[in-house]
Amino acid sequence: MAACAVVATCASAAPVTFVFTSDVHFGITRGSFRGETNVGSPAVNAAMVQAINGVSAAKLPADGGVNAGGLVGAVEFMVITGDLTSRQELYPIRIQSAATSWAQFESGWIKGLALKDSRGAPTALLLVPGNHDVSNAIGAPSKMLPATDATALAEIYNRMMHPAAPRTKDSYAYATDKIYFSRDVGGAHCIFLTMWPDSVARAWIEADLKSVPADVPVFLFCHDPPAVDARHFTNPNGKHDINGTDKFENVLADIYSGSVTAPGEGKPDGSTAVEQRALAAFLKKHRNIVGYFHGHLNWTEFYTWKGPDGDLELRVFRADSPMKGKFSGKDEKKLSFQVVAFDTATHRLTARECLWNAGAALAWGDSTTVAIAVP
């Protein structure tokens, strides 16, 4: 495997604030946005970035959470948990290549973000890939043009992992060039993963946590929810390849262990209880993993994952998508990102839904305040 963690310590004092979103999906359109129809992802994302750039001056609600009633202030990092690009499919409509989508993402987000951290430096933009980004690199069950394009993964890898030899779309190798890295911020340890904590990622986390004291809270950031999607696993049939019959995407290292039909008809049945149980066992071993942030299903939600056997209490935070929101896709006033503030001194974390398209100013929606003390 390629070089592992890129670990940096942020000098900012607690409490610490970061901004979280997911599934920005360059390459597709929204049905409607600000009075226009079929609005492209560059325009929607540009409006979102503009809103995020103004968040530091926004006043937080008096909700009893961390920093309640104060200004958002400095933002230590901004994280997007995948699907920066859309799958370059031919049908039912032609979607542009990953290279074109990445160029638009770079223009809109990397060059457009203007937040500052507590030192007055540009806020770090931290990225992990989603299944669309990975499928563009390795192929997909659906027909794509080009068949593969690793531009986005190579670019994310270079920016997050800082390899001695930067990858190109031709030299990037998904099997070995994993995008796993961590940051120590404000007394917490933040881990950023490609897709989901499969067995390969868990081995990396295990090694990474050896240098982290057991009483330090750990947050995981990745694309898939804990209750992971069966089709993301490696095809258990035949040559274990990606094909249009079996429908597995092979974006996770583990071979799917759930029920499938006869070879040649191998669509997953949707159960990932075995895989979830392996993750649950890992989390029980590492009780300082107290928060999990993800995208993929495209709506804002704060919930507790209890695991397949109901014996866990993992706090989970799901992000909306500006392009594919389950609810914001129908009602653009519900478009949101999350502003998260945590204070390891008081053992509290508050995640707030920031409604960025509800009117002339930013507005606050749902919020949750949870304990982040290590059990």
Question: Cβ distance 322 to 297 under 8 Å?
Answer: no
pLDDT at position 9 is 39
Compute the Cα dihedral for 138, 144, 147, 149 and give only its sign.
negative
pLDDT by 10s per residue, the chain, length 375: 443 333 333 444 579 999 999 999 999 999 999 999 999 999 999 999 999 999 999 999 999 999 999 999 999 999 999 999 999 999 888 999 999 999 999 999 999 999 999 999 999 999 999 999 999 999 999 999 999 999 999 999 999 999 999 999 999 999 999 999 999 999 999 999 999 999 999 999 999 999 999 999 999 999 999 999 999 999 999 999 999 999 999 999 999 997 665 444 445 667 899 999 999 999 999 999 999 999 999 999 999 999 999 999 999 999 999 999 999 999 999 999 999 999 999 999 999 999 999 998 999 999 999 999 998
The residues, ordered by sequence, that sit 6+ positions from 4 with a Cβ below 8 Å of its Cβ are 180, 181, 204, 207, 208
The pLDDT, as a whole number, for residue 2 is 40
d(CA 103, CA 107): 6
Q: Is 265 helix (H, G, I), strand (E, B) or coil?
A: coil
Give the pLDDT score at 260.
Answer: 62
The alpha carbon of 74 is separated from its chain's Cα centroid by a whole number of angstroms, namely 21
Q: Residue 239 contacts by C-beta under 8 Å, 6 or more apart in sequence?
A: none
> What is the pLDDT, as a whole number, of residue 135?
98
Residues near 324 by Cβ (< 8 Å), separated by ≥ 6? 23, 25, 28, 298
Residue with tokens 């940096």: 8
For residue 262, give every residue at least 6 positions away whose Cβ sits within 8 Å of its Cβ, in sequence order, or none.
none
Query: Dihedral (C-alpha) 21, 133, 153, 96: value to the nearest 10 degrees?
Result: -110
> What's the CA gap between 77 and 57, in Å, rounded?
16
CB burial of residue 91 (10 Å; 0-12, 13-18, 19+)? exposed
State how far the Cα of 46 lies from the Cα of 34, in Å rounded to an integer.
Answer: 13
pLDDT value of residue 267: 57
CA–CA dist 246, 255 (Å, integer) = 13
**What pLDDT score was predicted for residue 258?**
77
At 14 the pLDDT is 73
Task: Indicate yes or no: pTM above 0.75.
Answer: yes
Domain coordinates of the chain in residue numbers? 9-228+292-371
> What is the dotted CATH code of the domain comprising 9-228+292-371?
3.60.21.10
Contact 217, 291 (CB under 8 A): yes
CB atoms within 10 A of CB 285: 11
